[in-house]
Structure 1
Amino acid sequence: MAPAEVRRRASLVGAAVSALLVLAIVLGSRLLRDFDSALLPYAVATVFLAFGVAYRYTVWISAPGARRLFVQGWRSFFSAANFRKAPTALPKMIATYLGFQRFLGARSHARWAAHQLIFWGCVIAALITFPLTWGWFTFTSATGAGPGYEWRMWGVKILGFDALSVVGWLLFHGLDIAAILVIPGAGYFLWRRMKDRGAMTGQRFAYDLVPLLALIIVSVTGLLLTFSSIFLHGGGYEFLAVLHMVSVVFTLIYIPFGKFFHIVQRPAAVGMQLFKYTAKRDEKVFPCRRCGQLIDTAPYVENLQGTMRDLDLGFDEWAAYCPRCKRVLRGNAYLTHVKKGFK
């Protein structure tokens, strides 16, 4: 598919997703009855976010390799046969691969802990911010006076609570808790990128450092809003509110075009892991054509070979050999065809 055609299709998909989100905002807020106009910049930023994510995702899966992985992964994800063979595999992979990201622990326990702080902080913030921004959630006084509040979703009462209770404190300070989680996690990775020579070698400011700085600025300005309202009696609140809004809007718009896009890509990887897992359970393993050592699952190797053929790389047969045999064959070919001329 030509690049221009891919971009045109991605733009149409992005526009459709944005339109659906606008419709969901209007209907979810009961025809804007529950929509807070003060949160309009945030809502507009989420519409741009939806367009950017849909656009880049469409471009991403238009590449032959990504498209093949995408199709195979989601086919395994929604496969009834896989669910019958291993009913607990999918929930377990979602928990370990998406939620707790145990694969990061093999690299470094500190990096895993920092990543968990960022992940859960962002999850909490998203679960609170997006529905509030769209007018799907509302917190209203039950009596017009006193500490009684009602949490409503799409106009339906979900929970009544006392604003001075533990539940009330957690609901009203959920974003503060998220910020407290994010700051040390992002701070660790920022420190590491400033001190670790390996991390510094290939890092790019816009791609690697800007996301961390954006998370820290959003979190700090959010905490300062709470500090201002509690300890300064609202002093400087207007300036902090504008600064916080600008940082959040910038971060939301930046997500599809920076490092944070891997958040959107990660669920597709779960389907691919399930694809490999079910093939192993069926004992569909692929031995090296030269030494017989097991390389990977047969469906995975066949999928890799198909991707190489799609890309016209011309060496898809090499996927049938283990890494050691590839080096041996390459060395023999060098001796036969290159060194031969120097004898």
Structure 2
Amino acid sequence: MTEPPEPAAAEQPETGARTGTTGTTGGTGGPDSRQPGRGAAAAARAARSLPQSVSGRAALAGAVVSGLLILAIVFGSRLLHDFDSALLPYAVATVFLAFGVAYRYTVWVSAPGARRLFRKGWRSLFSAENFRRTPTALPKMIATYLGFQKFLGARSHARWAAHQLIFWGCILAALITFPLTWGWFTFTSDSGAGPGYAMRIWGIKVLGFDSLSFIGWVMFHGLDLAAVLVIPGAGYFLWRRMKDRGAITGQRFAYDMVPLLALIVISVTGLLLTFSSIFLHGGGYEFLAVLHMVSVVFTLIYIPFGKFFHIVQRPAAVGMQLFKYTARQDDEVFACRRCEEPIDTGPYVENLRGTMRDLEFGFDAWAEYCPRCKRVLRGNAYLTQVKKGFK
């Protein structure tokens, strides 16, 4: 969860990422290169004009989502009958989390590039035509791209394995923690002292189990299992960020290191709570409980405004992958205008050009050239316009 880039940036090929450079560093004689400064000026104007209206919509979205979550907590816990007041700080943190996620998501999709990708992706996701032609494409992409994240294997098998440990550990922890925090899940003893327990969802009994059985052990130690998964995964990435030159060069402590440290602190303090209750007869339990609570609350509030936000963005990327996949099925592959090597799907290149037009960049046709050809054209421009030797 801490390594992959956000979908809005990750899904842009080099054809789009470098057009700003190729279009502003001197005319290359290519299409629409007549006004090299126009894109930067337009972007600056957009940055000055957007914040007030966007922040207003984002704040409204955050208020609505957090309000709906509060109602869900109240009614899901049967008018707070099943709500555990000891978990109030966690519940309050999830309300702030809901506000922050809705706020940040609204700001994100308000940007022209992200908005266009968002619309195309979700349109492909809910397209009846796509489902009719390729009914297995969506489940396959959800499993491989969102679940097992096979694209990470191209970077490193070790990074993929570590990311999987963090991903599934956090998923397991969230599935347990959030419903318990909101009072949706309850565990009640059949006899008042055990060992028979009943798990209830919204007050309805769904499962009975013996606390001394294997199922009972898993039920009561699910968060410990999640911690055992997260610690080695986060530890690997923390080690890599302290040893790998490429990671060290561009990393920022608050953005890259804090998420990993937070995951480790949450996991370690959670395991220590179990250790205290089993081996120390509760010694130091209160201090550990407070430390664990503070680390969890901090992390929940941090999620919308830090590197963890890509967790929320990732599902939208599945729709974008489906958009590109369906275009490939129709053989709509766009070739470079200069070397005729395939760049990407035709609809995707056109979508990229549309985004650049939305941003009022005057060189959107550069998306029709592959990265190599753009570098060649730019080099030729330097030779013809700046002269050899840059004298």
TM-score (norm 1): 0.97
Matched, 1:293 2:373: no
Matches within 5 A, 1:189-268: 189-268=237-316
How far residue 196 of structure 1 moved from its aligned partner, in angstroms, is 1.1
Matches within 5 A, 1:303-314: 303-314=351-362
How far residue 334 of structure 1 moved from its aligned partner, in angstroms, is 2.7
Per-residue CA deviation, residues 204-253 of structure 1 (Å, 9 max, x unaligned), is: 11000000010000000000100011011111111111111011000100
Q: Distance in 2 between matches of 1:328 and 1:242?
A: 60
Match of 2:134 in 1: 86
Q: Which has the higher contact order (CA 8 A, sep 6+)?
A: 2
How far residue 78 of structure 1 moved from its aligned partner, in angstroms, is 1.0
Of 215, 218, 233, 1:170 maps to: 218
| Partner AA of 1:100 in structure 2 | F
- Residues 144, 311 of structure 1: CA spacing in aligned structure 2 closer, same or farther, 3 A cutoff? same
Q: Distance in 1 between matches of 2:214 and 2:162?
A: 27
Per-residue CA deviation, residues 314-337 of structure 1 (Å, 9 max, x unaligned), is: 111111112222223223333333
| Partner AA of 1:142 in structure 2 | D
SS at match of 1:290: coil
How far residue 24 of structure 1 moved from its aligned partner, in angstroms, is 0.4
Matched, 1:329 2:377: yes
Per-residue CA deviation, residues 132-159 of structure 1 (Å, 9 max, x unaligned), is: 0000000000122331000000011110
Match of 1:107 in 2: 155
Matches within 5 A, 1:18-97: 18-97=66-145
Per-residue CA deviation, residues 21-57 of structure 1 (Å, 9 max, x unaligned), is: 0000001001101000000000000000000000001
| Partner AA of 1:65 in structure 2 | G
Per-residue CA deviation, residues 255-285 of structure 1 (Å, 9 max, x unaligned), is: 0111000100111111100000000001111
| Partner AA of 1:17 in structure 2 | V
Q: Distance in 2 between matches of 1:46 and 1:342?
A: 58
How far residue 198 of structure 1 moved from its aligned partner, in angstroms, is 1.1
SS at match of 1:164: coil
Matched, 1:125 2:173: yes
| Partner AA of 2:156 in structure 1 | S
Matches within 5 A, 1:139-178: 139-178=187-226
Q: Distance in 1 between matches of 2:369 and 2:64?
A: 44
% identity of equivalent residues: 84
Q: Distance in 1 between matches of 2:371 and 2:106?
A: 33
Q: Distance in 2 between matches of 1:141 and 1:340?
A: 84
Per-residue CA deviation, residues 77-133 of structure 1 (Å, 9 max, x unaligned), is: 111111111111111111111111111111111111111110000000000000000
| Partner AA of 1:222 in structure 2 | G
How far residue 341 of structure 1 moved from its aligned partner, in angstroms, is 11
| Partner AA of 1:171 in structure 2 | M
Gaps of 5+ in 1: none
Taking only aligned residues, the RMSD between alpha carbons, in angstroms, comes to 1.4
Match of 2:318 in 1: 270
How far residue 339 of structure 1 moved from its aligned partner, in angstroms, is 1.9
Match of 1:9 in 2: 57
Q: Distance in 1 between matches of 2:247 and 2:262?
A: 19
| Partner AA of 2:239 in structure 1 | W
- Residues 225, 341 of structure 1: CA spacing in aligned structure 2 closer, same or farther, 3 A cutoff? closer
| Partner AA of 2:232 in structure 1 | P
| Partner AA of 1:307 in structure 2 | T
Match of 1:302 in 2: 350
SS at match of 1:61: helix
Q: Distance in 2 between matches of 1:213 and 1:24?
A: 31
SS at match of 1:138: strand
- Residues 254, 341 of structure 1: CA spacing in aligned structure 2 closer, same or farther, 3 A cutoff? closer
Q: Distance in 2 between matches of 1:216 and 1:323?
A: 40
How far residue 195 of structure 1 moved from its aligned partner, in angstroms, is 1.1
Q: Distance in 1 between matches of 2:193 and 2:285?
A: 24
SS at match of 2:110: coil
Name whichever of 269-278 and 291-300 sits farther off. 291-300
Q: After TM superposition, what 4+ stretches of structure 1 lie above 6 angstroms from structure 2? A: 340-343
TM-score (norm 2): 0.86
Q: Distance in 1 between matches of 2:289 and 2:363?
A: 57
- Residues 73, 230 of structure 1: CA spacing in aligned structure 2 closer, same or farther, 3 A cutoff? same
How far residue 340 of structure 1 moved from its aligned partner, in angstroms, is 8.3
